[in-house]
């Protein structure tokens, strides 16, 4: 699989280097073939809160938002965009005693699973999505993000 990752950073805090974000995305897309294009935008809390309110009618920032493209089926699969809120990811990692890099990886993987059509609204669907995320995290050498919940 060939991956084109379009990265935009609109936050001045820490975030993984682009090559690590690409590695996380490739792991979540390992079973896909062809060419895939993915957008990743790292934002501050204000932008995340604005998008979360507008698109999900929820107040405040959130860790990751997924915006699927509705691919047209051409030679390149336009998967969608992820908007990751840097301060929320960093705060969640700190408060959960999780390595920051592992939590960033999980947010990329979780967001990509949403772009691929997985959801966690219903318990059965959540179990499928969580198993997939856990397997990808393990393949990357990170602990299961759902263990102990």
CATH classification of the domain holding 134:
3.40.390.30
DSSP type of residue 116: T
Q: Quick check: is 145 in a domain?
A: no
Domain count, the chain: 1
Rounded to an integer, the average pLDDT of 69-79 is 77
Contacts of 140 (CB under 8 A, 6+ apart): 23, 24, 27, 105
- Rounded to 10°, the helix 86-95/45-56 angle is 100
- For residue 95, pLDDT over 60 is answered with yes
Q: Check residue 122 and give its pLDDT.
A: 87
Mean pLDDT in residue range 15-33:
97
Enclosing domain of residue 28: 2-139
User: Is 133's pLDDT higher than 90?
Assistant: yes
Is 149 within a domain? no
| Domain presence at residue 121 | yes
How much is the mean pLDDT over the chain?
Answer: 94
pTM here is 0.95
**What per-residue confidence (pLDDT) applies to 70?**
76
User: For residues 122 and 3, which has the higher predicted lDDT (pLDDT)?
Assistant: 3
Q: Write b or e for each residue in 17-38: b if 16 or more Cβ atoms lie within 10 A of its Cβ, otherwise e.
A: eeeebbebbbbbbeeeeeebbb
Asked if residue 133 is part of any domain, the answer here is: yes
Q: Is residue 51 part of a domain?
A: yes
């Amino acid at each position: 699989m060939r991956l084109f990752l379009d990265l935009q950073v609109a936050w001045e805090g820490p975030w993984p280097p682009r090559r690590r974000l690409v590695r996380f995305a490739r792991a979540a897309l390992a079973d896909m073939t062809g060419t895939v294009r993915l957008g990743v935008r790292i934002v501050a809390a204000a932008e995340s809160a604005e998008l979360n309110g507008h698109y999900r009618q929820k107040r405040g920032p959130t860790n990751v938002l997924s915006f699927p493209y509705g691919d047209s089926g051409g030679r390149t699969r336009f998967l969608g965009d992820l908007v990751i809120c840097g301060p929320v990811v960093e705060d969640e990692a700190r408060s959960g005693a999780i390595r920051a890099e592992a939590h960033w990886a999980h947010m990329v993987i979780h967001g990509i699973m949403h772009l691929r059509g997985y959801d966690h609204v219903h318990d059965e669907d959540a179990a499928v999505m969580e198993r997939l995320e856990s397997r990808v995290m393990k393949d990357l050498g990170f602990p299961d993000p759902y263990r102990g919940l």
